Amino acid sequence: MPRILFILVLLAVGYLLLRSWQRKKNLYQIKVSGRLKKTTRIVRCAQCGLHVPEAEAVQYGGKSFCSLEHAQQAQYTVSPMPNKGS
């Protein structure tokens, strides 16, 4: 009788450990997938070079701008933005 009770206790502990491990694994996967969803693409304003999140950028003529004002300025500007590095 004590052996059967001991085996039942071992099975219960093993079952609880297995469930705990699976729960931690699932929580980790949720955290990782949630982190990936929060990433945001950053684009550069074609007029001034400011970097802004793509969701906040104004798209015009296939280019990204930081504001509507810069998109309108680019509409009237024919020369490209000079390189600041050279």
Q: pLDDT tens for residues 31-78?
A: 666 555 567 889 999 999 999 999 899 998 899 999 999 998 887 775
For residues 40 and 28, is the Cβ–Cβ distance under 8 A? no
For residues 8 and 18, is the Cβ–Cβ distance under 8 A? no
Whole-model pTM: value is 0.46
Q: Which helix (H) or strand (E) holds 5?
A: helix 2-37
Residue 14, both tokens: 């093993």
If pLDDT is split at 50, 70 and 90, which confidence band does 80 have? low
